Amino acid sequence: MPGPGSSNRPNVIIHGGNRLNFISSWFFLWIFQLLNISRKRNLGKDDLTLQDSETAKVVGDRLENFWRLEGDNTENSRNGKNSIRRALVKSFGTYYAFLGLYKLFGAFFTFLGAYFLVNRLIDYASGNGNTLAAYLYALGLFLCALFSSIFINQLIAESTRVGVQVRAALMVLIYRKSLRLSSDRGGTGDIINLVANDCNRVAEACVNFHFLWSSAVEIIAVLILACVELGTAGLPALFILLVLFPIQYKLGRLTSTISNTITNITSSRIHLMSEILTAIKLIKFYAWESYFRDRVGRVRRKEFSRLLNGIVVKVWTFCVVFGAPVLAMLGCLCVKVLSPDYINEDEGIRARKVFTVLALFYTVRYPLIMLPIAVRTTLGALDSFERLNEFLLQTELEPLKQEKEPIENDPSIRIYMNDADFSYEGVSDPTLRFLNMKVRQGELIAIVGDVGAGKSSVLSAILGQIRKDNGICKIRGSISYVPHDAWLLNSTLKDNILFGNDYDDKRYQDAVHICALNRDFSLLSYGDMTEIGDRGVNLSLGQRQRVSVARAVYSNADIILLDDPLSVMDPVVGKHIFHECIRKYLKDKAVIFVTNQLQYLSECDRIMVMKDGECFEEGTYDELITKDVNLASLIGEYMEIEDPDQIDELINEIRLEKVAEEIDESDGLESLVVADSKNNSNLKEYPLSFTRTQSKSEAHEATINRIVELNSHTIQNANINEQTISKMIERNNLTILGGAGKTRMMGTQVNRELNVTAKAVERNQLTIHSLNEREGITPIIDSDRRKEPKVSLHVYLDYFRKSTGFSLTLLMIISFFLMAAVRFFSDWWLINLVISINPEQYGSRLGIYGALVGIVLIGVFARGGFYAWVMMHKSQALHDQTFMRVLRAPMSYFDITPLGKILNVFAKHQYLVDDVLSDNALQFFSWLPLITGTVIFIIILFPWTGIVAVVLSFCIWFLIYVSKDVEERFKHMDADSKAPIFSHLSATLEGLASIRVYNAQNRFDDQNIEKINTNNKALFAMMQVKSWQSLYIDLLASIFIFATALCVIILRKNGGPEYASKAGLAIANALQLLIFVQWMVRSGRDVAATMDSVQQLLYYRQNIPSERPNVIETNRPPPDWGKSGEIEFKNVTLRYNIYGVAVLKSISFHIHPREKIGIVGKTGSGKTTLLVSLLRIVELAEGNIIIDNLDISTIGLRDLRNNIAIIPQEPVIFAGTIRTNLDPFRKCTDEEIWNALKAVHLYDKVKSSTSRLDTQVLENGRNFSLGQRQLFCIARALLKKTNILVLDEATSAVDLQTDVIIQETIKKNFADHTVLTIAHRLNTIMEADRILCLNEGRVVEFDTPLNLLNNPEGFFYQLVDHSGPEVATKLKQIALQHAPSNNITIPDISNSNTISKEHEKSTIISPTISTDSQHNNNQHSHMPPSLGEVFVQPPSPSTSQQKD
């Protein structure tokens, strides 16, 4: 039957147990159709269709209705006792309770076979009864085993189905609730964890809950039957099992507690790893690797201890499972054998009773195994219900009320507020006070003020995102909104602009034009149909914001709210959008424009000046100037260097990073697969080997290959040359002092989820379990082509040899088989207690059996402890060695490896090795000896069963073979379809304000349901295939049980006690194959799958290159080295790849001690690379860098970096304390730290806190303002006590007062230092002693600011002139003001002349350039025509675009 939307594809409806055809349900007959289709073609989500009753909308609506009824219940509302658990019970409880019958029927057939039929067959083997009856008993035993298996598998399959329905319903309910929450309530991470963790825990409890009560029922049934069979001799079993049952229950609770503890510790380790990887460049700059190594080590040791405890508890669980049957048997035999009646009892009766009871006791293993699992999952669900209740009962946001009638009878008024107070949920003090506004149609209102003044809160008040406490607030008309951080969807650019509105060609083209997007679209292979990543990760910040503005423009709303959208754009683009879009196109709209860019204020109709949540002043620009509002002094303070020649960060297609879609993680480690974003059929691979010893980045070589490959068809009219490539390479290192390079944090389409995950963990939004649920973060391609990762034999051998050595690992494995052998021997020894012997020997033989039981109990515990020790030491060794290799990796490695992928190794893969591998391997090594030993034991007793065993083994292999590809494909589909759910939820939570203002809630809810349904298809199908495998493996096990019973019947000659004992042993052990064969197969496959994570860790340990040594003992610098601060570059050439383009080209210059040097240049000129070379982040290709007469390449990296202080552009503060952030190695006294804090104006702030220097710093330093974090970085540099400072001037949006403090602090405290500053603002660079001008990797000018400004044909003059005559005049005044301090003596005049010649060569238009080329360049130059002929050549417009 064709499915919807896939008329040409075979389609299968996913069926559960609610079909009328119970035979099809019981035997999973529809799975055969799946297998048949999979043989012909690769299965995909289009081949599957959910039944209507399974869809997320149906179950979500059902649960939402019952939840509303909970709220409507007056008593519940009054007591605040709305219960999601009650709503779930009402929604799904009836059918779920009915499933308990499956468990009861399964237990009935189990006991019918294990008690009555085994009893009859042993009786027949002892020589009683007729043969026909015996055959019927054997057939009955087969049918009992079969029906028991059917009912157990139906219980699991249907419970899983209900669990998935419950999970889907909860996910829908949570999503709908989040759409109605205030954006500041219920953090993103908390809601993601509800979906990722709590929904799954409730689903797991649904799967296992029936085993909680049924375990007690089954054990009671066993005890009753044992007492019936043995009489008073069954009482010891009663005592033993009644003691072991609560122990097992307690172990389940203990497992749950330890699991939660491990989760918390693992999450803290992942947060720490995320913090380290995010700021890895700064850690290397500071040479703090050893400090963070120790921090991770401390957390890891705590985690190791809890993991060891967890394995030991699981070992105790298995001790109970394996010890309970033999211990109960021993207790019963002690009473039975030593009783006077035993000697006189018929031997055949003895055999029948003893081995019937043994078979009964063996059935106890299953409930004893399931009990702790059921306890753990049920307790987890109860905790989850509390969190779900808390979330679902949160206060909802009131819908925005629109006025229908004109406000104050004036149709032009769109916004009216009178003495309105607004506050956020949970905040007692009003955020906005006495707010008065009246905005008319056609007005442009600007809102200005310092950081935290309440500018954005005014927009939130208009949007209805914060609560109105007092006053009047009226809104009339539709609203569109541009948030400060552009919010984009993982869709096409066109869809992001239309945002659900109908397409209007003229309006669309107008929006694209006025938002300056035409050029961006022309450079993309698919234009506006290009798909962008989550949050627009493959767009520049400016591009994202322009798309966001285009969306607001296209919506054609009456009211336009703009939250400082122009701040992230290039000044030229910003001016274009302000004039063409805001002033002209939106002239008939009511526009509220929040901005910190004060140059636009004079063109606004009115200005609101916000201060401390109140409107401080309001009026036109001229009125405010007249009132002496200090606007004039603010304008011009931030004179950004405008670069007319910036190349855009081209969308995904010429970005310096992997543009890949990788087959899987293991394949992705070997090669970089480049795929067209629309057509994955043409794949090309570029080898990326990490085995080379050089520490150069391979990414750039791959970039060049990619550019060459795409040059002909991807970028229209693109003329890629060496200059463009070198600029791209330099661009990727622009944020080198910011702690996180764009290459790693702005992943391409393939790495999108990796980086989303990394950021989420960095913000403490995920725990290890939710991260594990997001298996879709693994780089993947179409699941139709995806294959199960192959783990080679050498990976197993390497793992065996890891830490404990091969011999101990082999001994650990052998110990499992030894204990199984002892246990089988103890079973065989029971024969000696049944057959006729001298009564005096009963005691000794019982004693031997007791000794064997003791050996089994002690041995099981000992082997478990040995196992735990071996596995955890292997896991610890893998972690430590991998972590050290990553920590010592060069930055080139991080440039080409997404942060999220590295984090995934320490999160997902390390978790799988720590917890999942150890758990699955424990099960596998427990069941493998049990199953193989049972089969061998039965073959020894009845050799003819060997033929059946071989045939059935082949059948099991064939069954797994034909179904494993389907299962794996569904497994990958399940993993791949989870990622979009989390991405959609995360994107929704980030864009709540936009979704509400555009009334897109229903559309987003439908998208969420669609994504949940896609995941449910794969999850349902995967679980049903697993149930199909389990059922038919059990069917084959049942056949073996039947064959054993037949052998017992056929091979009986005269019978007798000994034969009856052998028959009883064989049948009792054969019954163990039911359930446990499939468990052995499943755990074995899980171990094999988890070994892929071992392979990942081994790969990282073995293949990551390493930096040069931290310390070279034979060449340590003198103790006073670096005190002078003299720096000299000699013919320095630097390439980021050994065969790559030179980014620095034979540059030479000399910096004198204590000189203040400003470094300027256009984008891609080599400014950042200059500092990279100084700190040896990348080793030089040619030349030398001399500091205080010592070549820095001859000393260790730690010695070098410890003598250079860094102040990054983006302040990075680590979680910990103030002390550990300033002095992690405790080298400074408290007095020195306090003096440093006093110097940076933080003394009073820290002194006022109760813990002072030990005050906790939260993740990312979020308990301190941006300016305070910048000041901490300055204090950190002060305490380093070096004489060389590298400063990347901050452009972050700190308020004016804080910025002045920062600038003055740097000037005052580093007056005696050599300071190198990468300049972003011209006004501060004017105070430098000299300015170093770079262009295309060469020094073009190096002189004092005044001299540079006096050279009208110079590079620096042109850069200043481009900023406008007013700025140029002001800068010259600053230069004149500081001229006395600039007039220093520069002895090396010849060097200056050389520089001038180089400058002349690079700035004069080459006569060899064609007329067309000259015309083309001048046409697109943003310079005044009079200066165009002497300015540096801009690249062709086809290879560059304005940077945002």
pLDDT tens column, 5-48: 344 556 677 765 545 577 888 888 888 888 888 877 777 777 88
Residue 1010, pLDDT above cutoff 50 = yes
Nearest partner of 1172 among 1121, 1136, 1212, judged by Cα: 1136
78-82, 736-740, 1167-1171, 1425-1429 — which is least confidently predicted? 1425-1429
Residue 628, pLDDT above cutoff 90 = no
CA distance 1249 to 1235: 17
Phi/psi at 322 (5° precision): -85, -25
pLDDT on residue 1057? 85
CB 753 within 8 A of CB 900: yes
Q: How many CA atoms lie less than 13 Å away from 1397 in the CB half-sphere? A: 5
What are the residues facing 1151 on neighbouring strands? Answer: 1127
The terminus-to-terminus CA distance of the chain in angstroms comes to 52
**The one-letter amino acid at 1376:** L
Phi/psi at 310 (5° precision): -65, -40
Q: Residue 118 in 3-state DSSP?
A: helix
Q: How confident is the model at residue 1274 (pLDDT cuts 50, 70, 90)?
A: confident
Residue 798, pLDDT above cutoff 80 = yes
**E strands of 920-1079, at which residues?**
none
DSSP 966-999: HHHHHHHHHHHHHHHHHHHHHHHHHTHHHHHHTT
308-322, 793-807, 1289-1303 — which is least confidently predicted? 1289-1303
Token pair, residue 909, equals 């893969």
Residue 663, pLDDT above cutoff 50 = no
Q: Could you give the percent of the chain with pLDDT greater than 90?
A: 33
CA distance 435 to 513: 36
Q: Could you give the percent of the chain with pLDDT greater than 70?
A: 80
Average pLDDT over residues 467-471: 87
pLDDT on residue 187? 66
Nearest partner of 189 among 990, 740, 903, judged by Cα: 990
Residue 867, pLDDT above cutoff 90 = yes
| Between 658 and 876, the higher pLDDT residue | 876
Tell me whether residue 588 is exposed, middle or buried, using C-beta atoms within 10 angstroms of its C-beta: 0 to 12, 13 to 18, 19 or more: exposed
CB 371 within 8 A of CB 211: yes
Question: Burial code of 99-127, b = ≥16 C-beta within 10 A, e = fewer?
Answer: bbebbebbbebbbbbbbbbbbbbbbbbbe
Token pair, residue 225, equals 């039957």
Q: For 524-568, what is each residue's pLDDT tens digit?
A: 778 888 888 766 777 777 888 999 999 999 999 999 999 888 887
pLDDT on residue 843? 81
Residue 207, pLDDT above cutoff 90 = yes
pLDDT on residue 595? 86
| Between 686 and 864, the higher pLDDT residue | 864
DSSP state of 4: T
CB 923 within 8 A of CB 370: no
Residue 1170, pLDDT above cutoff 60 = yes
Which is it for the CA torsion 594, 599, 600, 602, positive or negative?
A: positive
**E strands of 987-1062, at which residues?**
none
Average pLDDT over residues 1366-1375: 76
pLDDT on residue 1280? 82
CA distance 479 to 561: 7
**pTM, two decimal places:** 0.79
Phi/psi at 471 (5° precision): 85, -170
